[in-house]
Structure formats: C-alpha cells, structure tokens
Structure 1
Amino acid sequence: MENSNDFFNSTALPNTTMASHMPPCGEEWTRIDMSTLIPAIFSIISIFGTVGNVLAISVLAHSSTPKSVANTFMVNLCVADLLFLLSLPLWAAYYSQNYNWTFGRVTCKICGALLNFNLYASIFFIMCMSIDRYLAIVHPLRSLSARDPKIAIFTCILVWVLACLCSAPTLALRDIHAIPELDVKACGIKYPNETWFFALAWMKVIVGFVLPLIVICCCYGVIGRHLLADTGLVRMQSTKQSVKKCVESKDQKGTFERPPTPCPHPRSGNSKPLEGRGLQRVLWTVAAVVIAFFLCWFPFHCITMFDIGKAYGWLEGCWVDWTIQNFTPITLCLGFSNSAINPLLYCFIGHHFRGRLGGLCKGLGACVKARGEEHHSQKRGSFSTRLSSFSRKLSDLKDLAIVENAHPA
C-alpha cells in the first residue's frame, strides 16, 4: 500500500498511499520539473512575508493599545505566519533538490508540523478576527463584556491548542522515506491504512477550510448589511432634517432674500461624500479579506478533493495523477502566500497602522541619527584631545630647546 509518487507532494497532504490498479501512464503524463520555479516562489514569499510580519508585530507591540482584542488576534496571527515562514527556505531547498530531504528526521517532522499548524492556526485566527469585527460593528454595546482582552488571550491559547491537536497526526506520521527508483529520501507521510488517510483529508478540508469560510462569510455578510442599513438610515434622517429646516425657514420669512437652494426631496438619497467614501473603504476591505482567503486556499483544497476522489475511486485516469502531482506545488504557493498577504490586509491597509509605522520609522531614524552624531562628536572630541596633547608635547619640546640654548653644556 505505497506508491513512490505519494512523496512528490509531501509538503502537504500526500496522494493516497493505496496502490493504483491503473496501467502505467505514457510519457505525455510525465511530471513537470519545478525544481527552479517553486523554490524561487517560496523564497520570495519567505522574504516578503517575514519582513511584513516582523514589521506588523513591531508596530502592534508599540501601539497605544497593544493589548486590545483586535491587536491580540493580529499579533498571534503574525506569529503563527512567521513561525511557518522561517521553515519555508528548507522546503525551497527540498524542491530544488527534486524532493530529496537532507536536513534530518527531526527537522522533517518539525517543518511538516509547522506547515499544517499554520494552515489551521492562521485560518482560526482570521475567523476569530471576523467574529470580533462582527461583534464590534453589529453589537458594539452588548459585546463589551465579550470583547475583553483577557477573553481574547484565552481564545488565542485555545486556538494554539486546537491547531497543535490538528497538527499532531502529521507530526507523528511524517518521516523520511527512501525511494530507490528516484534515488531520493522524501519527507512525506506514509498512512497506516485508508482510515487515517480519509480522516485527515476530510479534517483538512472541513475543519481547515469549509467551516471557517462559512463563519467568515456569514460575519462579513451581516457586517455589510448592517453598514448599508445604517448608512441608509443616516441618509434618510439627514435628508428629513434638511427638508424640515428649509420649510421652517420659508414659514418664518415668507420669502427668501436671495435665490433659495432647492430643498432636498426626502427620497432623493443625497448624502455626505465622506460617508460614502468611508463606507466604500470598509466594504472593500471586507471584500478583500474574504476574497484573499478564498483565492489563497481554495485551489489547494480542490486538489485535496481530487486526491480524496481518487482514493474513493470516483476519479480515475492518468490525468488525475498528473493534475495532483503538478498542481499541488502551485496551489501550495498560493496557500503559502496568504502568510505574506495577511499583514497587508489586516495591518498596512489601515490608516492608523500606516501612521504608527511611519512614527516608528521616524523614531528609529532619529535614534540612528542621534547615535551617529554622538559617535561623530566623540570622534571629534577624541581628535581634539589628541591634537591638544600633541600641541602640549610640542610646546614642551620648544621650552626644553630654549632652556638648552640658554644653558649650553
């Protein structure tokens, strides 16, 4: 019950370990060589993601409310992404060596566990942030007790524990397996039986994608409807007040001293431009969160469903094996890019965060400049000290020469 092709996709859920009863595929179904492309993409994601998450953690730690509910979830999300991104260079090297793991058995287990841990933890934290935004916008008063920083910390601990439990089977099953026909030692999972494969595959799809996506879409759907309803109510009230003032002005003066401005109609729907821009920005941010989450992880879980369909016998043929083998690394790149996109979506897109980042950069620049000036003044003082010392010695030599000339031997 083992297939050497199972370990080609060993950075994620491997292909089923059940032996295939299909005849061998021809040369037209050979695996595409991605030993250069995938490591390059992994390296870019690792660099930009690490820089972005480190900056996000630094800014959030130096913010005016570092222990707020939103900041607590953001920091934990950035830490979870950062832990995985630090292991991504090893996976890049793994792909560049054509699926040959050279970093040892313990490192194989840890990196595999970090990958699965990040898949669950990042999605769980995004879901927690979505629920927090729902409570803050839709139920701002009733949710004051629920949106307590201590409860947020407890929720984060619970998320870390759940993510660890979901990643525990990967830590136990992942190991180094020699594939003699390919002359490599792959870091992959060898499932004990079909039950293990199906259980972990369905858990990855349902717990790691479907349920969080439903919660996120429901939260942001209610948020969008609430904002639209509130804005419509504000517009109607504002228009009614304008009409009332206009009518009262006519009743008091009888006539206008100058050509009057047409009174707004109660159903005209005119509103302040700032309200429209603010609402549009919030709704676009909400849409970006949901779309990024969906686009990053949906392709990977589609490939996982292909793998499940193949194991159940629903999908057969060389095209299925070819699709799973070649599209798993590409969909992994999309999924991993979510760790680099998260700081942009949740932090850098906000005006307050950009302001705090600018303040932090200015503070660091001022500190560097002050240290440079201090070092320069120290060097200048040291040079002045040496120059004055040299001048004194020169003066002493002149005095000695004068004394010797005055009293020759």
Structure 2
Amino acid sequence: MDILPTSNSANFSTVSTLGDQSNTTNKCPPAEFKDWHSSVVPACMLLTSVLGIVMNLFVLMVFCFHKKACTVAEIYLSNLAAADLFLMVCLPLWAANAINRYDWPFAHHLCSLFPLPINMNAYCSIYFLVLISIDRYIALVHPLSHKGISRPKFAKLGCLLVWGFGLLLSIPTLVYRKVAYFSRYNKSLCFLNYSVKEQLLFDGIQNTFGFIIPICMISYCTLIIIHSLNNRLIERSKSQKMEQKATTLVLVVLLVFVICWVPHHVVLILTTLIKAGVLRECSIIANVQICSTVFMNLAFFNSVLNPILYVVVGKNFRKKVRGLFKQWSIDRTMTIRNTSTVLSRFRSVKPTFTTEENTI
C-alpha cells in the first residue's frame, strides 16, 4: 500500500519477495536506467519541494495568525496545506535516492520511515477534499442542516479522524519496506517485501480506499454542487454569495487535484494488473514504468499548485492576507512608537548631583 514506485530503474518483479519473483514480468527484459532519472527527476523534486515548503508555510501562517477564526472550509484547507507541507519536507530524501541512481544511500530504517509522509499525504489529501466536498454539498443543498453541523469542533474532529485513517493505511509501508541488494541490478534497493498475495491484497486496499471510494464521493458531491449553483437565482443574499465564493475555490482545488492525482492512481491500478498477470505485454509494462515516474511528479506538484489557487481564486483568502499584513503593519508601528517614546523619556531625564559632588 505505497504510492512510491519500488525503483524507477528496476523491473516490477523486484517488488515481489526475494527469491519469489513474478513469472509474468520475468519474461520481459529489465528496464534500462535512463540518465534523466538521476538528473531531471531529482531536479524537479527539489524545485517542487522548495516551492511547496515556502508556499504551504505561507498558507498555514495566514490561517493560523489571522485575528479572525477559521471557517469550517478553511480548517479543512489548512489541514490540506499541512499534509502538503509534510510531503514537501520529506521529498528531498527521495530526490537524493534518485540522484544516486536508486541505489539506497541512507540508513535502512529510513527506507520505511521516509515514504510514510508521502503516503499519508496521498490518503489524507483526498479525504480532506472529501470533507470539503461534503461541507459544500450540505451548505448549498441543505443549508438549514448545515448551520447545525458546520461547527469548527466537528471539522477538527473530522480532520483528526482523517489523519488517523491516513496513518492506518500507511502502516504496511512501515512494516514491509526494507533494503536489500539485487545482483540483477547491482544495487541496494528500497522496496516493499511483499509476497504475491500480500501484494495484491494491499494494492487492492490502496486502490479501493485510497482512490475509488473517495473519488466517487467527491464526484457525486461536485455534480450536485454544480447543479445547485446553476439552479440558483441571479439575485442572491450576501451569505449565499459568500458561500458561492467559497464553493468556487473548492471546485477549482478539486479540479486541479483530479488533474494531478488521477493519472498517478490509474498507473497504480495498471501496476496492480501487471502484478496479477492480467497485463503481460512488455511494451505496456515499459510504458507504465515511464508513466509512473512522470505522473508521480505531477502528483507531487499538486502541493505547489494549491497555495497558488488560494491566492488566485480565493477572494476570502486574499482578504485574510491583506488583513494579516495590515495587522502586522499596525503592530510594527505601535512597537516603533513605544520604543521611541521610551527612548525620548529616558533622554529627557536630567542627572541630579548632590552638594558634595558639585564641590568636587
């Protein structure tokens, strides 16, 4: 249950248990290592990591330090930014592995630890979007019910459950990832040490709970939301207009997420079919290997696009940014004034001397 490929330079058979490799992929020649795997791929990862860290820190700073409390939708978006930041911080390790031509350069325990935030990001991100979709669905379709359940405490509880569920789905990464030397590739690979049955079981769980179920829920809510927006009258109340602004941002975030993550999940499903022996053509296997690298990096780049969307599309977010900078400007001005006042008072105090001192 791991969104990372075992190795971009290795054949899919390496993900099987040592000595128990799949007969399906053994008929195909091993994938050749391409130079761009150790140059272009890590460069893209490092650039994505730097931009993602800066931008998601900025988003969290705006949500956390603004004087007004976050709305339910903003609580979900801030947790989404935290998940993205979690991923971006750990991404340079995978870039270093790619630079080393996927010959694992770190301690063995890091092999199981560092993919954990990457997998948690994949699971948590999509379920945060599920929560956001449900919130927007209820707000637009059942507004009376929304007032009763759209409380920050419920949103925080939902986020806590999502983090726990993401960790639960990522446990196989901690248990089964290991480092072993493969003479076939003359490398020590960080791979998932599954048996064939365990592999198919965990892949099925990943594809079902990590993609199929949540994407169906998001699609259903999104279609109802769009239908509801189209049926609205031109004249809307102020509260309805605010709901529409929030919904517009959510829809754009959902669309970009689908564009970035769906190709990667489709490749994961195809990979599962290859492992199960359903797909046997060597050309298909080779193309899936190439696509896994490209689409994985596209999925990572989604963590950079989300903060940009908040600024470009989110009018309420821009108001929060302006309000935060205004608040900081006022605080800075007050600090400077207080400092100058203290200094002026200090300078205005004249020293007093006793008679003895004057005589001397």
TM-score, with structure 1 as normaliser: 0.72
Shift of 1:279: 11
Counterparts of 2:9 and 2:29 in 1: how far apart (Å)?
21
Letter in 2 for 1:215: M
What residue in structure 2 maps to residue 8 of structure 1? 7
Counterparts of 2:77 and 2:145 in 1: how far apart (Å)?
23
What residue in structure 1 maps to residue 306 of structure 2? 342
What residue in structure 1 maps to residue 320 of structure 2? 356
Question: 1:25 aligned to 29, 49, 67, which one?
Answer: 29
Report the identity percentage: 28
Counterparts of 1:231 and 1:223 in 2: how far apart (Å)?
15
Letter in 1 for 2:206: K
Question: 1:216 aligned to 201, 215, 218, which one?
Answer: 218
What residue in structure 1 maps to residue 354 of structure 2? none
What residue in structure 2 maps to residue 328 of structure 1? 292
What residue in structure 2 maps to residue 99 of structure 1? 102
**Could you list the runs of 5+ residues in structure 2 that have no partner in the other structure?**
349-360
Letter in 1 for 2:275: A
Shift of 1:223: 1.3
Shift of 1:162: 0.8
Does 2:168 align with 1:165?
Answer: yes
What residue in structure 2 maps to residue 393 of structure 1? none
What residue in structure 1 maps to residue 272 of structure 2? 308
For residues 306-335 of structure 1, give each alpha carbon's deviation from its aligned partner in whole angstroms, at most 9, with x where no partner exists. 212212222113213322322212111111
Counterparts of 2:171 and 2:256 in 1: how far apart (Å)?
27
What residue in structure 2 maps to residue 129 of structure 1? 132
For residues 282-311 of structure 1, give each alpha carbon's deviation from its aligned partner in whole angstroms, at most 9, with x where no partner exists. 786455233212211111122112212212
Shift of 1:32: 2.6
Residue pairs, 1:107-186, within 5 angstroms = 107-186=110-189
Query: 3-state DSSP class of the match of 1:327?
Result: helix
What residue in structure 1 maps to residue 352 of structure 2? none
Shift of 1:108: 2.1
- CA change 1:283–1:137 in 2 (3 A) is closer
Does 2:60 align with 1:57?
Answer: yes
Whether the 8 Å contact between 1:300 and 1:331 is mirrored in structure 2 is yes
Counterparts of 1:66 and 1:108 in 2: how far apart (Å)?
40
Query: 3-state DSSP class of the match of 1:8?
Result: coil
Question: 2:230 aligned to 228, 236, 241, which one?
Answer: 228
- CA change 1:72–1:145 in 2 (3 A) is same
Counterparts of 1:298 and 1:107 in 2: how far apart (Å)?
28
Letter in 1 for 2:218: I
- CA change 1:7–1:218 in 2 (3 A) is closer
- CA change 1:281–1:80 in 2 (3 A) is closer
Shift of 1:341: 2.0
For residues 220-267 of structure 1, give each alpha carbon's deviation from its aligned partner in whole angstroms, at most 9, with x where no partner exists. 2111111211226x59xxxxxxxxxxxxxxxxxxxxxxxxxxxxxxxx
Shift of 1:375: 8.8
What residue in structure 1 maps to residue 256 of structure 2? 292
Cα root mean square deviation, aligned? 3.5
Letter in 2 for 1:82: L
Shift of 1:340: 1.8
Whether the 8 Å contact between 1:10 and 1:187 is mirrored in structure 2 is no
Counterparts of 2:315 and 2:260 in 1: how far apart (Å)?
25
Shift of 1:347: 5.9
Shift of 1:124: 0.5
Higher CA-based Rg: 1
TM-score, with structure 2 as normaliser: 0.81
Counterparts of 2:333 and 2:67 in 1: how far apart (Å)?
25
For residues 199-236 of structure 1, give each alpha carbon's deviation from its aligned partner in whole angstroms, at most 9, with x where no partner exists. 2212222211121111111112111111211226x59x
Structure 1 range deviating more: 335-344 or 285-294: 285-294
Residue pairs, 1:376-391, within 5 angstroms = none
Counterparts of 2:70 and 2:248 in 1: how far apart (Å)?
27
- CA change 1:307–1:357 in 2 (3 A) is same
Count matched residues.
336
